[in-house]
Amino acid sequence: DAKTTQPPSMDCAEGRAANLPCNHSTISGNEYVYWYRQIHSQGPQYIIHGLKNNETNEMASLIITEDRKSSTLILPHATLRDTAVYYCIVRANYGGATNKLIFGTGTLLAVQP
């Protein structure tokens, strides 16, 4: 799986958009970009994933650059409950042991009131 690079921490004002960047310059053609988040002492929560097109769901939007070497997760209106560690993971969609998730250090997003 490709290595990802994320800033260790970010702040965001409540009600504003939170834009979390991720670099994955060694991504290969069959690898997807996944985003999870983990609120303290809880299990990771799936947010969104994409291959090359931008994606949007009820939680967030994912913007992937044309060369696929970086992406941005956008939380359009951050709330205090969005304070968590956000993980960007790049992986192919295969089963078995290759399906294990490799979490890096992630970005600690602190939403400020």
Residue corresponding to tokens 């303290």: 40
The angle at the Cα of 43, spanning 77 to 62, to the nearest 5 degrees, equals 40
| Closest CB 104 distance from another protein, rounded Å | 7
| Closest CB 16 distance from another protein, rounded Å | 28
Residue number, 43 or 113, with CB nearest to another protein = 43
Residue number, 68 or 91, with CB nearest to another protein = 91
How far is it, in rounded angstroms, from Cα 30 to Cα 90?
A: 10
Which residues contribute to the site for another protein (CB under 8 A)? 34, 41-46, 49, 93-97, 99-105
